[in-house]
């Protein structure tokens, strides 16, 4: 197990290096940022001086290494528009995005598991057809459209939930603000995972050991929840890690719909203002979180399924 953890940790290093290089390469295409930082009436000498001071006169690989050296220390530069360090801006909004993402993940798992199990155990029944129809529709609905429809019906028409923002202070108020965005973000994952649970469970139910368990006279409930589901969940756990990628990306869209004060709405605003350090910082930090969450999921996976460790 120890070797597995160390090997898995070492594997994330090149990926993180690659991600920063990719993001930096994208940034490099924007050209020299000096002009965005000096006033329009600055003299040529002054522009040159600032460019040298900030290292923009160096070749790209030197600049990348310098960027990397700063990024490791959490220094992503200063926002061109707000004058604040990028890292502080992101840190301020990061908890909101995590809260939304984890809430969506919770909804996804809490609904997908029972839906998938019911569908698989009552294959081709009305319940199964209904659940799978719901899953197909859920997978086909754009996140932003679902968000707007929920806002229109439950925020506008019925007035049950607030129409945006995160609420402050009281837990009940914060929860009410969280409900619609979390459902919006989670629905796609509910749909995808319900289908996955159903298909893997169906596969497992055809195995010999399930027949043996039934032949022993175990109740159907024990067979399904104890024997079958445990094995059916192995592929689902793998997907959970990757699901965070979808959710972090989807969070950017959900946040703009609900004016949720997370890093997603920050990055969209920064794009509008051509505030590139903020864009680069956000993409790097979100990608790094995704890589780290995947690492944690993989380590858990190695714990759940001993076969993984020996591969």
Partner 1 sequence: MDERLKPETAVGVPALGRELGAVARRRARSRLVSSLRANGLASFGVLVLLLVCLSAIFADVLAPHNPRVGDLMDSKLPPAFLPGGDPRFILGTDELGRDILSRVIHGSRISLLVGFTAVALAGFIGVVLGLVSGFYGGRIDDVIMRIADIQLAVPFILLAIAVLAVLGPGIQNLILTLGVAGWVTYGRVVRGQVISLREKEFIEAAHCIGVPNLVIMFRHILPNTLAAVIVVGSFAVASTILAEAALSFLGLGVPPDIPTWGGMVAAGRDQILTGQWWVYTFPGLAIMLTVLAINALGDWLRDYLDPRLKI
DSSP 153: I
The conformational region for residue 108 under phi > 0 = left, psi -120 to 50 = alpha, else beta, is: alpha
Q: How far is the CB of 264 from partner 1 (least distance, A)?
A: 9
Instruction: Please tell me the distance from the alpha carbon of residue 196 to that of residue 265, in angstroms, as a whole number.
Output: 31
The residues that bridge with 85 in the sheet, in sequence order, are 78
Closest CA to 32 of 10, 6, 54, 15: 54
Per-residue binding letters, 195-234, with partner 1 (x by CB under 8 A): ----------------------------------------
Sign of the CA dihedral with 225 first, then 118, 245, and 82 last: negative
Q: Near partner 1 by CB under 8 A, which window of 106-114, 168-176, 179-187, 266-274?
A: 266-274
Closest CA to 210 of 222, 228, 225, 232: 228
- In the list 281, 286, 298, 302, the residue contacting partner 1 (rule: CB under 8 A) is 286
Size of the site for partner 1 (CB under 8 A): 50
Q: What three-state secondary structure class fits 85? A: strand
Instruction: Kindly state the helix (H) or strand (E) to which residue 287 belongs, with its residue range.
Output: helix 276-304
Q: Interface with partner 1 includes 143 (CB under 8 A)?
A: yes
Q: Interface with partner 1 includes 110 (CB under 8 A)?
A: no
Closest CA to 245 of 191, 288, 278, 197: 288
Could you say which residues in the range 6-65 bind partner 1, by CB under 8 A?
A: 14-16, 18-19, 22-23, 26-27, 29-30
- In the list 121, 184, 187, 287, the residue contacting partner 1 (rule: CB under 8 A) is 287
Q: Interface with partner 1 includes 241 (CB under 8 A)?
A: no
Q: How far is the CB of 269 from partner 1 (least distance, A)?
A: 11
252 touches 96 (CB < 8 A): no
Residue among 50 and 148 whose Cβ is closer to partner 1 = 148
Q: Near partner 1 by CB under 8 A, which window of 61-69, 102-110, 148-156, 211-219?
A: 148-156
Instruction: Please tell me the distance from the alpha carbon of residue 20 to that of residue 158, in angstroms, as a whole number.
Output: 45
- C-alpha distances (whole Å) from 284 to each of 3, 4, 121, 122, 294 are 28, 26, 43, 45, 15
Q: How far is the CB of 295 from partner 1 (least distance, A)?
A: 11
Residue among 18 and 69 whose Cβ is closer to partner 1 = 18
Could you say which residues in the range 162-181 bind partner 1, by CB under 8 A?
A: 163
- In the list 86, 117, 240, 291, the residue contacting partner 1 (rule: CB under 8 A) is 291
165 touches 261 (CB < 8 A): yes
Instruction: Please tell me the distance from the alpha carbon of residue 188 to that of residue 130, in angstroms, as a whole number.
Output: 16
Q: Interface with partner 1 includes 149 (CB under 8 A)?
A: yes
Q: Near partner 1 by CB under 8 A, which window of 1-9, 66-74, 247-255, 296-304?
A: 247-255
Which stretches of the chain bind partner 1, using CB under 8 A?
A: 14-16, 18-19, 22-23, 26-27, 29-30, 136-137, 139-145, 148-149, 151-152, 155-156, 163, 235, 245-246, 248-250, 252-253, 256-257, 267-268, 271-272, 276, 279-280, 283, 286-287, 290-291, 294
């Amino acid at each position: 197990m120890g070797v597995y953890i160390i090997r898995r940790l070492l594997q994330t290093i090149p990926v993180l290096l690659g991600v920063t290089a990719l993001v930096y390469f994208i940034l490099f295409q924007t050209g020299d940022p000096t002009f965005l930082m000096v006033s329009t009436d600055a003299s040529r000498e002054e522009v040159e001086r600032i460019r040298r001071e900030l290292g923009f006169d160096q070749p790209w690989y030197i600049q990348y290494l310098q960027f990397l050296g700063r990024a490791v220390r959490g220094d992503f530069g200063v926002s061109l528009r707000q004058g604040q360090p990028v890292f502080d801006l992101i840190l301020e909004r990061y908890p909101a995005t995590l809260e939304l993402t984890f809430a969506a993940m919770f909804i996804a798992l809490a609904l997908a598991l029972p839906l998938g199990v019911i569908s698989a155990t009552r294959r081709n029944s009305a319940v199964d057809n209904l659940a799978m129809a719901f899953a197909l529709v859920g997978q086909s609905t754009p996140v932003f459209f679902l968000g707007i429809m929920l806002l229109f019906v439950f925020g506008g028409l019925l007035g049950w939930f607030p129409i945006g923002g995160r609420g402050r202070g009281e837990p009940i108020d914060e929860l009410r603000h969280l409900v619609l965005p979390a459902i919006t973000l989670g629905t796609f994952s509910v749909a995808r995972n319900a289908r996955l649970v159903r298909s893997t469970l169906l596969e497992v139910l055809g195995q010999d050991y399930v027949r043996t368990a039934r032949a022993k006279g175990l109740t159907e409930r024990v067979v399904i929840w104890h024997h079958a589901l445990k094995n059916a969940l192995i592929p689902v756990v793998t997907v959970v890690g990757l699901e965070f990628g979808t959710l972090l990306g989807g969070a950017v869209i959900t946040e703009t719909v609900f004016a949720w004060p997370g890093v997603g709405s920050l990055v969209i605003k920064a794009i509008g203002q051509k505030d590139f350090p903020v864009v680069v910082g956000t993409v790097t930090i979100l990608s790094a979180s995704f890589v780290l969450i995947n690492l944690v999921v993989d380590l858990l996976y190695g714990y759940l399924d001993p076969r993984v460790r020996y591969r």
